[in-house]
């Protein structure tokens, strides 16, 4: 199934992103997580690609296995890092041969120990170049990444948007955003994208906070902003794991409700291979009158929403057991 065909119905497009584990035990744990989340009937799941192609074989194997052994549609990430055009063609040939229909082409992060991206010999420097390579040669449905708060390596947001428009016009079918925490960042970004002529569905990417130090590190790496109201709550709960998880669930639930009510076509969850927070947020959305099947075809504008803190939560909610 081509993921782009999921858009346009009355149901939001929900998806879960997983990381390739480093051990066999990790693979078993991942599939236990996938089995639990599969019961939520997401539109698709995706599997990331390690820096420098370090998880190349595992990413392909996992995506093929998910598609073969579950009822879930799976999308493979693919990066430019460490690969020539010929090598990328071989990877794409294998994905196609194994029945994969959806790919997310990315530039990718530098390998561990390197501070900047160096294009490989006979390879590509940007994701849009990889998209241009894939589109005329294969029939994959292609996703693309985008950055509501701007790309960390491109401080000029107008220039960053021009790059995105070029990537979109090269053959991307839909877009998924980097993590963010304020719905207004998404609505402002979508409005600018539509003005720039970008017509593809733009799916907000949501990472539930489960660890304070971890999310602070992630946001520093990608240039995302933690709103002061959320930071205040996380600081107060920093030494209480259950309170941190509860705060993350409550904030992400309210954020997703606001996004869907404002016209977002779905939600892409960065799960970090954990099911509890994602599952609880998803069930909260299903039981909310503000979400469920409510959506609009064009997420060009949103209501006047604020990044106000979510409501305080009960001990049961802190365990992720109740909406």
Annotated catalytic residues are 17
Report the Cα 164 to chain-centroid distance in Å: 16
């Amino acid at each position: 199934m081509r993921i782009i065909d999921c858009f346009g119905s009355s149901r939001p497009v929900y998806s879960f992103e997983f990381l390739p584990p480093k051990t066999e035990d990790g693979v078993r744990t991942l599939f236990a997580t996938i089995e639990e989340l599969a019961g939520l009937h997401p539109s698709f799941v995706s599997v990331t690609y390690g820096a420098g192609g370090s998880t190349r074989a595992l990413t392909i194997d996992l995506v093929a296995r998910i598609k073969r052994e579950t009822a879930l549609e799976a999308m493979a990430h693919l990066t430019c890092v460490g690969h020539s055009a010929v090598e990328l063609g071989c990877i794409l040939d294998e994905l196609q041969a194994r029945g994969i229909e959806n790919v997310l082409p990315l530039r990718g992060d530098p390998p561990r120990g390197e501070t900047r991206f160096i294009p490989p010999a006979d390879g590509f420097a940007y994701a849009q170049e990889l998209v241009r390579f894939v589109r005329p040669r294969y029939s994959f449905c292609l996703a693309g990444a985008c950055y509501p708060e701007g790309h960390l390596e491109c401080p000029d947001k107008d220039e960053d948007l021009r790059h995105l428009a070029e990537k979109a016009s090269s053959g991307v079918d839909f877009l998924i955003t980097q993590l963010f925490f304020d719905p207004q960042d998404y609505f402002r970004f979508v409005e600018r994208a539509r003005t720039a002529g970008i017509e593809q569905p733009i799916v907000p990417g949501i990472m539930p906070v489960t660890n304070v130090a971890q999310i602070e590190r992630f946001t520093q790496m990608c240039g995302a902003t933690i709103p002061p109201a959320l930071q205040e709550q996380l600081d107060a709960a920093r030494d209480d794991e259950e309170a941190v998880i509860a705060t993350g669930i409550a904030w992400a639930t309210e954020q997703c409700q606001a996004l869907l009510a404002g016209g977002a076509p779905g939600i892409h969850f960065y799960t970090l291979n954990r099911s509890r927070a994602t599952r609880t947020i998803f069930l909260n959305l299903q039981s909310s009158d503000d979400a469920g099947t409510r959506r609009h075809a064009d997420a060009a504008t949103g209501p006047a929403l604020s990044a106000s803190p979510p409501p305080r939560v009960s001990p049961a909610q802190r365990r992720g057991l109740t909406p």
